[in-house]
Structure 1
Amino acid sequence: MIITPTELPGAAVVELELREDERGFFARTFCRSEFEAAGLEPLVEQCNLSYNHRAGTLRGMHYQVEPAPEAKLVRCTRGAIVDVIVDMRPESPTYLRHVAVELTADNRRALYVPPLFAHGYLTLVDGAEVVYQVSAAYTPGTERGLRHDDPALGIDWPVPVSVVSEKDRSWALLGETAAAPAGGAA
């Protein structure tokens, strides 16, 4: 694996090192020791799969707080997405800054999302599928979120957002009182 830090400390792009021959290729997608050596949380508590019918579907921007913050390793296994993370660590010099990374089935890239980073993605094609490795089990009451269109974040989504859940549309804007919604799927 090739682990490349982003401009947000703790976040990284993970690319595969392909071992190719006439059959195709083989590559490791996760390695505990390589993650530890790069300073990334290596735990995998659960894995999730998300399928999206239409291009322009937005899922996010979610993060979890104590006592169950989650690190995530996100990979697009079918189609293409733009994955955006926002640093929500108040003491961080990059607090509220974001990074966007295009993840596709063809580029096979993954994005490591540290704990206390909001995460969301927008599908670029119909039928996009996304796999997440997550460091902690979902814990009701710890989820928080940001609006994808919050002007304070200045996220420039590459295609119009056409499908978004009521939960994700309902997050408070930064500066307003934020409260966790009553559960629901990502």
Structure 2
Amino acid sequence: MQIKKTPLKDCLIIKPRIFEDNRGTFFESFNEETFQKETGLQVNFVQDNQSISKKGTLRGFHLQTGEHAQAKLVRVVKGEVMDVVVDLREDSDTFGETFSVILNEQNNFQLFIPRGFGHAFITLSEETIFAYKCDNYYNKESEAGIIYNDEQLDIDWHLPKEQLILSEKDKELPSFKEFTNS
């Protein structure tokens, strides 16, 4: 497992070691002991999720707040996404900063997203299977988010606005300023 730091504290890109032979490939998507040894972070995943989306689907920025905050380990099983995070930890040196990375079935990158981050992704391929582990259970009352097109965050989603597919809920999320009261 190779771990690369991003500009945002504790947000990491993880490249698993891939084994190939005449049957195909194998890799370990997560190993708690190795992860803790390499990062110094302790995480206990309790929930595993998957979504299937068509091209242009934009999900996020989502997060769970308070005692239901979640760290996530995200990856693409099939297809390609641009994955974007924003640091919403007010005590962080990188508060309000964003980071994006392309995740796809070719590079097999995974992104570890610490608690306190808003998370979003847009599908760039015709069909994408997106999988992620969470270290806390989903709680509807603790869900929050920020509008995808917030001017302060200024994200280039790589597709024209008219090609974006959003849920009604995601169209109504508050701005970064409204969310953080700053």
TM-score (norm 2): 0.92
SS in 2 for 1:144: strand
Tell me what 1:164 maps to: 166
Tell me what 1:81 maps to: 81
Q: What is the Cα deviation at residue 63 of structure 1?
A: 1.0
The question of whether the paired residues in 1 share the 8 Å contact of 2:80 and 2:103 is answered with yes
Range moving further from structure 2, 152-161 or 9-18: 152-161
Letter in 2 for 1:132: Y
SS in 2 for 1:163: coil
SS in 2 for 1:7: coil
Tell me what 1:51 maps to: 52
**Pairing of 1:6-155 with structure 2 (within 5 A):** 6-37=6-37, 38-53=39-54, 55-155=55-155
Q: What is the Cα deviation at residue 100 of structure 1?
A: 0.3
Query: How far apart, CA to CA, are the structure 1 residues paired with 2:95 and 2:176?
Result: 12
Query: How far apart, CA to CA, are the structure 2 residues paired with 1:27 and 1:125?
Result: 23
Q: What is the Cα deviation at residue 39 of structure 1?
A: 2.8
Instruction: Check if 1:175 corresponds to 2:141.
Output: no
- What percent identity do the matched residue pairs reach? 34
Range moving further from structure 2, 158-167 or 129-138: 158-167
Q: 1:146 to 1:41 in 2, by over 3 A?
A: farther
The question of whether the paired residues in 1 share the 8 Å contact of 2:146 and 2:179 is answered with no
What RMSD in Å do the two structures reach over aligned CA positions? 1.4
SS in 1 for 2:35: helix
Letter in 2 for 1:86: V
The question of whether the paired residues in 2 share the 8 Å contact of 1:10 and 1:39 is answered with no
Query: How far apart, CA to CA, are the structure 2 residues paired with 1:177 and 1:118?
Result: 11
Q: 1:157 to 1:44 in 2, by over 3 A?
A: same
Q: What is the Cα deviation at residue 139 of structure 1?
A: 1.3
Query: Could you list the per-position Cα deviations for residues 10-50 of structure 1 after superposition, in whole angstroms to 9, with x for gaps in the alignment?
Result: 10001121223333332211010122120334211110010
Query: How far apart, CA to CA, are the structure 1 residues paired with 2:44 and 2:179?
Result: 32
More helix by share: 2
Gaps of at least 5 residues in structure 2 are: none
Runs of 4+ displaced beyond 4 Å:
none
Gaps of at least 5 residues in structure 1 are: 179-186
SS in 1 for 2:136: coil
Q: What is the Cα deviation at residue 149 of structure 1?
A: 0.4
